[in-house]
Structure 1
Amino acid sequence: MARISDDARSRNEDAVRAAMDRLLRGELPPGGKLDLKTLAAEAGVTRTGFYPKANRDGSTRPGPYQHLAEEFERRLKALQAAGEVLDPRDAQIARLKAENEALRTRVAARDATIETLTAFRTTAVSRLAAQHAEIERLRNALEGAANIRTLPVRARVDPNRS
């Protein structure tokens, strides 16, 4: 692979720095993220230039733009530490995580309410069944007893009627 001239390398570094400034200002291309892949695409250089290279003897040497990749990562971390969210996807992810947590809390509260109401319903049905059984027992006892008389039911007098 042919090496690039110093003039071409200088132009590429200027393009990488200009692209870095745009990305760190939040000017992301459609579908782009705050990463080295997008930086390389915006600058018009290959991404491999941002990574170390292997020599034939097995040792490594820095890539031609590796120092710019490190600068990009350093500036990005500094902005993130300052609380700036440059990537709209990061903001969306944070918002969705917060929504997800709120929904999980609501579901847990509703599950607890459902559990409480189910226990209440079970108790209420049990009590109603016991009361019904007691009423049936008393009715049967009333019908079977010969010494008990049923009193006649009097019509109620409405005090408002004259």
Structure 2
Amino acid sequence: MLAGNIPVGGRCDVTTLAELAGISRAALYRTHRALKDDFDRSLFLRRTAGEVPDPREARIATLKQTVDTLTTRLREREATITELREHQRQVRSQLLVQHEEILTLRAILAQRPVVLPTASDQKLGGDTD
């Protein structure tokens, strides 16, 4: 099992070791204590050396790392969305102020009388013969 040959549905643990040996887990603890201790010691040494004999544990470790990476990315995206929403709110506020200013200027222009240039105004301002 320590080499990664774990039966389907099993794990790299004492329970699966007892099943493979054809004995109960309790018998492994009482009668075959040396086998259990040797298994635990070998498993500990492999794990401290960075080996993961149980492919499920390796998969779990990989998935945990993936979850951490995705969680970080999600937090970054949420922060970006918050910043963009704040920027959008500011831009809308500026547009509203500008729109109100345009409406005010249009109202002022609408109140002024329209004065069209006369023929004498055109002669005074533009002809330099």
Q: If the TM-score is normalised by the length of the shorter chain, which range does it land in?
A: 0.7 to 0.9
The residue number in structure 1 matching 2:17 is 39
TM-score scaled by structure 1?
0.68
Moved over 2 A (4+): 148-151
- Equivalent positions of 1:11-160 (< 5 A) are 23-51=1-29, 63-146=30-113, 149=115
Secondary structure of 1:69's counterpart equals helix
Partner Cα separation in structure 1 for residue 98 and residue 84 of structure 2: 21
Q: CA deviation at 1:26?
A: 1.3
**Any unmatched runs of 5+ in structure 1?**
1-22, 52-62, 152-162
Partner Cα separation in structure 2 for residue 150 and residue 121 of structure 1: 43
Partner Cα separation in structure 1 for residue 106 and residue 24 of structure 2: 94
C-alpha change, 1:149 and 1:70, in structure 2 (3 Å) is: farther
Aligned-residue CA RMSD (Å): 1.5
C-alpha change, 1:144 and 1:46, in structure 2 (3 Å) is: same
Partner Cα separation in structure 2 for residue 71 and residue 150 of structure 1: 107
Q: Which has the higher contact order (CA 8 A, sep 6+)?
A: 2
- Structure with greater helix percent: 2
Partner Cα separation in structure 1 for residue 110 and residue 68 of structure 2: 63
1:87-144 alpha-carbon deviations (Å, 9 max, x no partner): 0101100110011011001101100110010001000000000000000000000111
C-alpha change, 1:24 and 1:47, in structure 2 (3 Å) is: same
Number of residue equivalences: 117
